[in-house]
Amino acid sequence: MTTRTTRAPSKIAGGIGESTLRPDGIAKLEGSFEYAQDLRAENMLWGATTRSPHPRARIVSIDVAPALAIGGVHAVLIAEDVPGRGVFGLEHPDQPVLASDEARYWGEPVAVVAAEDEDTARRAAAAVAVEYEVLDPLVDSLTADVEDEVFRRMRIRRGDQGVEGAVVVEGYYEVGMQDQAPLGTEAGLAVPDGHGGVDLYATSQFVHIDQSQVVASLGLRPEQVRAHPTGIGGAFGAREDVNLHIHLCMLALHTGQPVKMVYDRAESFTGHVHRHPARMWYRHHADEDGRLLRVEARVVVDGGAYASTTSAVLANACYFAVGPYRCDSVAVDGVGARTNNPPCGAMRGFGAVQVCVGYEAQMDKLAAELGIAPLELRRRNALATGDQMPTTGQRIETPLPVIDVLDSLAAMPLPDADDEAPLPGGSGLTTDRDQVRRGVGYALGIKNLGFSEGSDDYAVARVRLAEDGAVVETAAIEVGQGLVTVLAQIARSALGVSRAVVRHVDTSQIGSAGSTSASRQTQISGGATLEASRRLRERILGRHDGDDLTDLGVLRDGEVVVPMAMLATEGWEETVTFRHPPTEESDDDGQGVVHADFAVAGHRAVVDVDPELGLLSVVRIDTAQDVGKALNPESVRGQIEGGILQGVGLAIMEELIMDGGVIKNPTFTDYLLPTILDAPDVEALLIEQDGSWGPFGAKGVGEPPTISSTAAVLAAIRDATGKDIDRAPVRPQDIAL
């Protein structure tokens, strides 16, 4: 029994707080990094998908013979060929693997084929003869509400419902359907193992949920399906749901050959879920000093044809419908509508983005009505640690530096008014500089971190000591955000050794890490990595009666007693399951301890507008963000700048245009994404406060940048034009007409 006092690990090179470089950076810069799109296997077939050309139609018959008659076609599979559960879904399995009786959205998969090359597969998919009886699609979310076609209704009531304010402002707001548009489209390779099982390498945010859905739909035993993390070209929520995964595994098992599938861009736009379009009605009551007395809101989001994560997105929209503000009388009603529009689900910000457009416009309306400056009005209502959430009544236990965000934004210098910023309209040069009006707008956003409402949210990580240092094993998906960097940093700092790498392992080799979503992996897989590293260090020091572990090995009183090379032969490893503090489902009034942690961010947008032509240019965004502890400051900044630009995109250009359930612009020519010329200069201030349960106090940082950047840009456009800008994205006609 040792009584030796062990040291805390020394500050280690490549540890937390440093902007260590991405371990995959060089391969990505050389072009040698392997993405799902690049995978190949011996004897590989190509898959393709037959999709419904109608938003709603009864399937009268399907004739696969014309497709099978094409030379080189190995399989054509339809719904009756699905061996197990015919439906899938993240929360509620309701989405057919392949449609059989009715197609419920434009682009819904009806058949899948495998052929010897990609062109043949696509020709065969087009040759499948499906007879449809076209039905009237339900495409209006309000009609769906009336007809009770809903996935979920939310009702929040908190405090005295009879409160009225001296000042009341109302508004109606809309947010369009945004696409995640990750640059890598959906892609994957399924390889049969020769014993009835299959190995799947596909774009994903959550391999364990993919694996379980493949198992269910193929009617296999869990150990027969192994889902492998693979190289992924961005995600932003688009990869949380299954799309080609079950299809690939079906085709591989049916043909006995590896099958690869890659969606093209148009197919990608129908092949994954989108950000929910939202309609929002708000009424804010305040006293004459601008203090919020009551907020009433109605939020309708269009979930499209199948459930995906609509229940959780709607809940988030309602729980965060007031924003980071104190208010003791709240009524929120929410509807997650079921329509024949494309299914909507996870996208960065997950419901919190849409309502921020509404509540921040309302805060500016109140400020204008009362003649109080926008930042001052927000300061008078700022939520703080120890307060109750205005919606759920949950007491906020972790740091919530709303005031610090406001102070930071106020202190950041504005760009010079006379600066020679590029003109709105860019290279068209149609704008006269004399016409340009500059606007400044502010917005704050708040969101939960990790899964909520009683989810058993956990991650498993394993830390091993090997010859060349520590190895963190995980199934947590790297989509570009830098998890492979930060987990290694955590292991280095907690173990005390400078060499650490992250190794992805498949679903058969380690437990679930949960989804790479909800800004959760740094906190949760990071938490598991931290705890595993700490336990491993303690066990090693205990066994060898040491007082320190370094790159040299185990030390006692400054002397090496077990060199690292020997230690590495002893098979040290530690596997930890980390859970965040428990949450609960809310009651019938939406009350309860629903969330595990929160983060807040604020944005100030500076926008130049040509009101005559309806053109604009986002000149600059300043931001302050609550990050807990920046484990890798450069990566945090990368998340902030990238997240802001997605928010700017939603504010001024990104929208899937729907016409009777049909997406009219499923290409990069017509779905506009911000280019480098659209990107504002960004100044970011990271607010670090200790007290969150994440490793070293870290909070998730991925989503907050996207939440209020949209609302801040809209506020700046209002400031420049004096118009009621009540929808995102803003279109030229919203400004010029």
Partner 1 sequence: MIVEFILNGEHASARVVAAMSLLDVFRDQLELPGSKNACDQGECGSCSIVLDGAAVCSCLVMAADVEGSEVTTVEGVAPEGVLNEIQQAMHEGGAVQCGFCTPGIVVMATDLFATNPSPSRAEIKEALAGNICRCTGYGAIVRALEAVAGAEA
| Residues in contact with 721: Cβ distance below 8 Å, sequence separation at least 6, in sequence order | 437, 439, 609, 611, 735
- 530 versus 682: smaller Cβ distance to partner 1: 682
- 76 versus 477: smaller Cβ distance to partner 1: 477
What's the min distance (Å) between Cβ of 434 and partner 1? 22
- 29 versus 65: smaller Cβ distance to partner 1: 29
What's the min distance (Å) between Cβ of 733 and partner 1? 24
Say how many C-beta atoms besides its own lie within 10 A of residue 341's C-beta. 31
- 274 versus 284: smaller Cβ distance to partner 1: 274
What's the min distance (Å) between Cβ of 21 and partner 1? 6
- 596 versus 607: smaller Cβ distance to partner 1: 607
What's the min distance (Å) between Cβ of 35 and partner 1? 7
The residue count of the chain comes to: 737
- 70 versus 679: smaller Cβ distance to partner 1: 679
**Cα–Cα distance list, 431 to 187, 569, 687 (Å):** 43, 70, 39
What's the min distance (Å) between Cβ of 189 and partner 1? 13
In three-state secondary structure terms, 727 is strand
What's the min distance (Å) between Cβ of 30 and partner 1? 7
- 478 versus 734: smaller Cβ distance to partner 1: 478
What's the min distance (Å) between Cβ of 405 and partner 1? 19
- 3 versus 427: smaller Cβ distance to partner 1: 427
User: Contact, 538 vs 494, CB < 8 A?
Assistant: no
In three-state secondary structure terms, 509 is coil
The backbone torsions φ and ψ at residue 126, rounded to the nearest 5 degrees and listed phi first, read -70, -25
Check the CA dihedral 87-88-94-96 and report its sign. negative
What's the min distance (Å) between Cβ of 361 and partner 1? 24
- 240 versus 333: smaller Cβ distance to partner 1: 240
User: Which token pair is 351?
Assistant: 């419901």
In three-state secondary structure terms, 700 is coil
- 163 versus 412: smaller Cβ distance to partner 1: 412
What's the min distance (Å) between Cβ of 682 and partner 1? 6
The pairing of beta strand 330-337 with beta strand 292-302: parallel
Check the CA dihedral 625-642-29-264 and report its sign. positive
- 147 versus 419: smaller Cβ distance to partner 1: 419
Chain residues binding partner 1 by CB under 8 A are 19, 21-22, 24-26, 28-35, 37-38, 181-185, 232-236, 264-265, 422, 479-482, 634-635, 637-638, 640-646, 667-669, 673, 675-677, 679, 681-682
What is the SS3 assignment for 569-603?
Answer: HHCCEEEEEEECCCCCCCCCCCCCCCCCCEEEEEE
What's the min distance (Å) between Cβ of 607 and partner 1? 16
What's the min distance (Å) between Cβ of 239 and partner 1? 11
User: Which 8-state DSSP code applies to residue 282?
Assistant: E
What is the SS3 assignment for 203-264?
Answer: CCCCHHHHHHHHHHHHCCCHHHEEEECCECCCCCCCCCCCCCHHHHHHHHHHHCCCEEEECC
- 61 versus 675: smaller Cβ distance to partner 1: 675
What's the min distance (Å) between Cβ of 513 and partner 1? 18
What's the min distance (Å) between Cβ of 406 and partner 1? 23
CA angle, 273 as apex, 271 and 275 as ends, to 5°? 145
DSSP 624-668: EEEEES-SSHHHHHHHHHHHHHHHHHHHHT--PPEETTEES--ST
For residue 336, give the nearest of 159, 520, 149, 496 by alpha carbon. 149
Say how many C-beta atoms besides its own lie within 10 A of residue 571's C-beta. 9
What's the min distance (Å) between Cβ of 411 and partner 1? 21
User: Contact, 710 vs 651, CB < 8 A?
Assistant: yes
- 297 versus 644: smaller Cβ distance to partner 1: 644
User: Contact, 712 vs 604, CB < 8 A?
Assistant: yes
Q: How many helices (H) and strands (E) does the chain have?
A: 17, 31
The pairing of beta strand 727-728 with beta strand 681-688: unpaired
- 511 versus 642: smaller Cβ distance to partner 1: 642
Distance of alpha carbon 610 from alpha carbon 724, whole angstroms: 16
For residue 597, give the nearest of 526, 666, 530, 545 by alpha carbon. 526
